[in-house]
Structure 1
Amino acid sequence: MREVTFEWRNSLCTTDFPCTAYEDLRQRVAGSTPFNTLAWMCAAERALPAGEQLQVLLGWRAGQLQLCLPLVIACERFGGLPFKIVHHLGFPLSDRIALLATLEPRPTRQALRQIRRRMPHALLQLNELPGSTEPETLLSQWARFSSTVEDRLSCRAPVHLISDTDRQEVSGDPRYKLRRARKRIAACGAQVRRLTPDATSMGPLLDAIREVEAVSWKGDEGVGIFADARRQQWMREAFIALAGEGRVRVVTLELEGRCISYRLGLFEQGRIYDYNLAFVPQYADLGSGRVLLEEWIHWGLDEGWSWIDASRVSLENSSHQLHERMTGLLEHRRWSFYSWRPSGLCLGLGLRLWQYLKPRLQALRAKRAAARARLAVTTDTPLEGRDAVPSHSQR
């Protein structure tokens, strides 16, 4: 069998990049998402901040692309000290990525050596990898050749399998919440719309939903997808390109021609990824988010979609409304591979020390909290027996 030939590129956006081979590899990798598309990746590359460098590792065998890893190296501080950290391009706004690799164990190890030689680092961290579909060979081989490894759960994203039962009204508490929301929306005259923008209409639509996000809590806290100039550039380029490929879907709630709430999704192979939503605060009592989520389901029934996917949620205390309708969960993992360089050994030692101390500190805090609670109960409890102040009847 022929050996894998490795090649380094400095960009995904050059005219000579093997776009057809890349897309063929993406289609062959299970779990590939719209966040792996060249449209998304090239927009992420153009939005890279100063100080972050992109290196793209390609692996070829017999003229077929079997590996494409766009990696970004940057300097991050831990404990006040600078360390070189490598991430997959798209972090942190790519909700879910698959590693585009179909390599066997030996070339997988060679790929890791290539990365360490080209991009000397303390830590190689891969975020938002779907736990059930990532290439176990690649991850297990990289784990064997790292000084320290951490495989950590970062997210449990709810998903909903669309079926004929969705043609019936949902049962339980969500039914009454939906009914109330629909009545309020009808009373104020707002209308739900389905939009499949193209490259021309996507720009004005992004402007409209960016205005909604800006006045929402996401805008106030600076955590939205349009929070700064870099993110705005990334989102604009990515969604215009993806809309040109027919991958964007939007459901909006409009009042007098103005968007007051929206859900923005990416569509691929019968699955809608519910990527972003926001609403104007003064219309918060309408309950539009749940109604627009229901609209995703109805749209899916009309056009034969298979899945609605929350894309990403918080690991703890997630408030995504798809939890009410989910038929399953998809785990995201964060893999951290620490190198054998002194900086990697130092960070890895720090991780192991923290993993040793953390449960003990948590147990100590819990013990102290229980002691304080017992003391409070003792202090508030009336004295009894011979130590109690006698009442008139006892005298």
Structure 2
Amino acid sequence: MSHTHYKLNTKLIHAGVEPDPSTGAIMTPIYQTSTFVQSAPGEHLGYEYARSQNPTRTALQNALAAAENAQFGLSFSSGMAATDTVLRLLNPGDEIIVSDDLYGGTYRILTKVYARFGIKVNFVSMAQAGNIESTINANTKMVWVETPTNPLMNIVDIEAISNIAKKHGLLTVVDNTFASPYLQNPLDWGADIVVHSATKYLGGHSDAVNGAIVLNDAALEEQLRFIQNGCGAVPGPHDCWLILRGLKTLHLRMQRHCENGEKVAHFLRNHPKVEKVFWCGFEDHPNHDIAKKQMRGFGGMMSFMLKEDSIEAAHNVLKNTKLFALAESLGGVESLIGHPASMTHAAIPREQRMANGLSDSLIRLSVGVEDVEDLIADLTQAIG
């Protein structure tokens, strides 16, 4: 049964899910098996070995594709495994253009792993899409975009970047982790490949590590599937089941993340000890008009700088929160607080971090779905 014509809220609950043919179970079973019996060599029911495919994973992949208005979905053992698989499309001597404000793990794999294999990485500010033009040359093969970026919430115009990339025959890859498919669908704006850390909003409960790639190009999907199977970056069936379950409430959770995020962002902006708040819902946020165009809401991710711009001042806030838990990651039902300079972005040298606006006192929030008055009271006492 096709679910492509339904609206997103309906697709998230029903896409990829069929009653179990042997029992009628309405929920997808966890097929906890490493191999599948064949009636004769090469004769099977579509499944041979669990590194190549698993029915629980298939259900999740179909749901991921539906959520992003895509033809194909691939599920991975982590967001970094998904990222790694996309980067394996590149050959030694190729160049990639990457937004200069991005997740530390992506920065690390590009500079510490792929640079060793002769891939040249060009970091460019994508605040204006045209900025990438001067960096494109005959060796450029891919443009890598995060929007909103981590952690400064910079907005990149997916449509404009994709149009420039297409003109030069480049692949556009968008990391859609922060927005989730509920708020943004990059393929609809011309991107070729979308990646997710499904650990975050897609799973939504901080209980599974998983990654995803979604796309429409059949030849590209075949290449990526070959790389995944050959290199083994595959998820277990139980993690697939947890992400599939998380997807069913993505629309409900994201709605509350957005509502709470807006209230917390405005509270912080009016706080006397806060210098600046980075949240793409503010009308004066850079490229807010683009965010409004390509997103359906502004989410629960934000960061803020203290007037006392020091690591010590930031650490004082971090140790005083009671509800906001100090932890890596984001996108769960619980609120999290983090210090990019010493946590998620510690892989980026301080000089480059500061140049990108990632200051010592910068604090990142993943605003959860608790009662917003409790969250604001917690920040009030923590900031002092």
Query: How does the TM-score come out when normalised to structure 1?
Result: 0.29
Kindly indicate which of the two structures has a greater share of residues assigned to helix: 1
Higher relative contact order (CA 8 A, sep 6+): 1
Kindly indicate which of the two structures has a greater share of residues assigned to strand: 1
Query: How does the TM-score come out when normalised to structure 2?
Result: 0.29
